[in-house]
Amino acid sequence: MNGARADSVTGDAAYAVPTGVLGLSGPVDTPAPGTLPLRGDLAHIALAGRHLAAHYVIPEIRMLGGAGAGLRLLPREDSDVVHRLPPGARFEVLDRTGEWIWGCLGPEGPSGYCRVSELADEPGPA
């Protein structure tokens, strides 16, 4: 189980804590930075059972603001923008530190950091 279930009405994914015993059956290739929402300390809940992390997070669903967002590998202004995300896109927030958030478009990525100010004011649909 990957922790995701589809809403049959809207098609949006909702995430739940997986049930049963989780474990990895062998070595797993480390994904390239900026792809899967996986860091050493935490990962998207949908990756539980596929990738090992200290903590798994059920994301907070938000929407990007009118200017979209620049997704970076590091939470710093001088970090290169590796993905441009369009205005109004659904964004899954996994972590927040000061003015930076780390998240993804979904459990398959892309993932990275953007500024809190690049989000729309209101939370997005679940």
Q: Tokens 């530190």 sit at which residue?
A: 97
Q: DSSP string spanning 61-112?
A: EEEE-TT-EEEESSSSTTSPEEEEEPTT-EEEEEEEETTEEEEESSTT--EE
Separation of alpha carbons 115 and 77, rounded Å: 9
**Cβ neighbours, 10 Å, residue 121:** 7
pLDDT, averaged across the chain:
86
| pTM for this predicted structure | 0.80
The model's pLDDT over 38-72, given as tens digits with 9 standing for 90+, comes to 998 999 999 998 898 999 999 999 999 999 999 99
Residues of the chain with pLDDT under 50: 1-11
State which amino acid sits at residue 5.
Answer: R
CATH topology for 4-17+33-123? SH3 type barrels. (2.30.30)
Q: How far is CA 89 from CA 19, 63, 86, in A?
A: 30, 6, 6
Q: Tokens 């953007």 sit at which residue?
A: 114
